[in-house]
Chains A and B, each alone.
Chain A
Amino acid sequence: MKMACQKKYETLLHKYLDGETNQEERTELFHHLKTCEECARHYRELKKTMMLVQSSSHIDAPAGFTENVMKNLPEKKKRVSWKKWSRRHPFFVAASLFIILMASSLISVWNEQAGEEISVQGSRDVAIDEEAGTVIVPEGETVEGDLTVRNAKVEVKGEVSGDLTVINGEQYLASAGEVSGEIEEVDQVLEWVWYHTKRITKDVFTMGEETGEQE
């Protein structure tokens, strides 16, 4: 008899504590609690227990908690700030991208050309010795205009009326030789890149003029 009473009213008690009883059930429960000392004590104990649990004070996270979490986050911040930064400086990004592309394409051209055959621009009146890797402006000869030589040693015994440019090689000016313009030796990749940038820029402008004339 007692066990049955406990089971039934224990369930009802918990239902009540969860706020899920209807008016009828509540009337029944409280009527029973008035007459059954055991169930009434059970109810008092449960209420007291839950009040104790609820009244246990709220504990806050320790100081510096957020900083600790942030310190342990995976490394991602750099990429983020770079992203933000690049959004703020679009011109700089475009410019550096241009320079990188330009440089890399020039470097690849340089690599293709390195160790390639001798090439001479500007004049045919020179002696090319492929095996020795030399280009000679013979004595008494005059090269009109600029002379550009790639992948060879240049010996000037005659005359060059314009500039002499030696790419990936060296020049030797014989005592009798003469170069009226500037002599430029290009053998560092960077110098070569600079030289090309100058030339491309010039070409672009000249082309612009030409198209302009054609129209």
Chain B
Amino acid sequence: MDAVVKRLIREIKKEGDQDAFAELVDLYKDKVYQIAYRMTGNSYEAQDMAQEAFLRAYANLESYDESRKFSTWLFRITTNLCIDRLRKKKPDYSLDAEIQGTDGLTGYSQVAASETLPEDQVVTLEMQEWVQRAISGLPEKYRAAVVLRYIEDLSITEISDVLDLPENTVKTHIHRGREALRKRLGNA
């Protein structure tokens, strides 16, 4: 995988080869989209952010340092874009956070009530939405750390590279993120 990525990047840098770039997008689109979706909490914005992340990566490929992991660089672009977007529309949701918390409770009681029903699919879907609402309720810096740790499965070191924060800060963000999530998801 790494060798393939290196080759593709060389081709794009040398000749602006767009076919090579399309291959690169195919390799990373799911991870980038997933981060964008977990960060923004809706598929429309996720698509917008993920697409923008790839376009910026293409435009700034010259500044990518090949001795480092490509995914780290790409994820950094993605999380930065999402955090910027979230900060711009902040007014609507620091107020919503509390409501979302109580919303979470209702969501959970619905899930608990329907657990006896045979429609597993529906349960899973509601559960997903409930978890995503809890993630969306986190302040953006905790959210980024938690998403990268628990959904993308990155190590603390990698997360510290992606977010450009010291490892100890990343750990603190994850701890606080976990505690905030526990309050929404854990005590029902």
Contacts and interface: CB of A to CB of B under 8 A. Distances in A.
A53 B146 contact: yes
Contact residues of B: prevailing secondary structure: helix
B interface residue count range (under 10 / 10 to 19 / 20 to 34 / 35 or more): 35 or more
The 8 closest A-B pairs by CB, nearest first: A45-B186, A61-B33, A61-B29, A49-B186, A14-B175, A56-B131, A49-B185, A66-B25
Contacts of A44: 186
B81 interface: no
A18 B145 CA distance: 13
A213 interface: no
Interface residues of A, number: 35
A45 B185 CA distance: 8
Nearest to A58: B34
Interface of A (DSSP majority class): helix
A58 B17 CA distance: 30
Given A18-B156, A62-B43, A70-B22, A56 B128 contact: yes
B182 A46 contact: yes
B2 interface: no
Interface of B: 15-18, 21-22, 25-26, 29-30, 32-34, 37, 43, 47, 50-51, 54-55, 58-59, 124, 127-128, 131-132, 134-135, 146, 150-151, 156, 171, 174-175, 178-179, 181-182, 185-187
A18 B174 contact: yes
B178 A54 contact: no
Contacts of A61: 29-30, 32-33, 47, 50
B170 to A, nearest CB: 10
A55 to B, nearest CB: 8
B51 A65 contact: yes
